[in-house]
Amino acid sequence: MLNEKWNELADVKDELSGRDWFMGTSGNLAIKVSGEPLQFLVTASGKDKRKRTDEDFLLVDEFGRPVGETHLKPSAETLLHVEIYRRTNAGCSLHVHTIDNNVISEIYGDRGEVSFQGQEIIKAFDKWDEDAVLKIPIIKNFAHIPTLAKEFSHHIHGDTGAVLIRNHGITVWGRNAFEAKKVLEASEFLFRYQLRLLEHKPFQLFKVV
Ligand SMILES: CSC[C@@H](O)[C@@H](O)C(=O)COP(=O)(O)O
Ligand SMILES: [Zn+2]
């Protein structure tokens, strides 16, 4: 089981790395291994996530503490992943810093959210109605991680979701690695689309969905 989950997360890491979503050692990934007691694999802190090694992940418990002896340090943002697994049935959570998600978080940060409507790809978030609206919350980037995790936890509703952290990055989760990746890719698609649109139609910025 552990091996299987390790390889699944390593494959996701390779894919996201192929998109160049781990600039400057940024980003962290997690996959649930067991629910009772809660244990999940999380990326080791500060590594170059483009490399595939035997020390990429470590197992942590419901408090984000390493399970067993290890010299590896869990991701600095492990507590955000803890909040997701404690509150939902998510099986995988992903955090990446991209230029697009940072710029979107800054443009819409004062509104506390960015909304999308009339976009086919919001179906990736299980929004199927023609006039459905997807709202992605944007939270302040508290340097104190327990404070950031607490603020983040207020926006965890359901087994699939996405939250932007202002001028920092995005954290997404899903029932499994496939879903989490789908939500992440769809979010980045929407961010790129919105930035392109603003280049051509700057007045769109003032349109409130
Ligand atoms: C140099 S990236 C900034 C980091 O502090 C953090 O935001 C990040 O995403 C990676 O931290 P990590 O501890 O490697 O999981
Ligand atoms: Zn980060």
- Per residue in 63-76, pLDDT tens? 999 999 999 999 99
Cβ-based neighbour number of residue 35 at 10 Å: 12
pLDDT beyond 80 at 204:
no
Q: Is the CB of 28 under 6 A from ligand 1?
A: yes
166-204 burial, b for 16+ CB within 10 Å, e for fewer? bebbbbbbbbebebbbbbbbbbbbbbbebeeeeeeeeee
> Which residues 6+ apart lie within 8 Å of 174 measured at CB?
90, 91, 92, 159, 160, 180, 181, 182, 183
Q: Mean pLDDT for the chain?
A: 97
ipTM entry: 0.97
- In the sheet that holds 161-165, the strands lie side by side as 57-60, 38-43, 28-35, 92-96, 169-174, 161-165, 133-139, 113-117
Q: Is the CB of 46 under 6 A from ligand 1?
A: yes
Q: Is 97 annotated as a binding residue?
A: yes
pLDDT beyond 70 at 208:
no
Report residue 190's pLDDT band, with 50, 70 and 90 as the boundaries. Answer: very high
Q: Is the CB of 76 under 6 A from ligand 1?
A: yes
Nearest CA residue ID for atom 1, ligand 1: 26
Q: What is the mean pLDDT of residues 139-145?
A: 98
* Residue whose C-alpha is closest to residue 94's, from 33, 19, 181, 197: 181
pLDDT in tens, 89-121: 999 999 999 999 999 999 999 999 999 999 999
Q: Residue 61 sits in which domain range?
A: 2-206
Domain CATH for 68: 3.40.225.10
Contact 75/44 with Cβ under 8 angstroms?
yes
| pLDDT value of residue 97 | 98
**Phi and psi, residue 208, nearest 5°:** -100, 120
Total number of domains in the chain: 1
| pLDDT value of residue 203 | 77
Q: Is the CB of 143 under 6 A from ligand 1?
A: no
Q: Is 154 annotated as a binding residue?
A: no
Distance 140 CA to ligand 1 centre (A): 16
Contact 207/116 with Cβ under 8 angstroms?
no
Six token digits for residue 62: 């419901």
150 vs 1: CA distance, rounded Å? 30
Instruction: Name the closest ligand to CA 57.
Output: 1
State the pairing for strand pair 38-43/133-139: unpaired
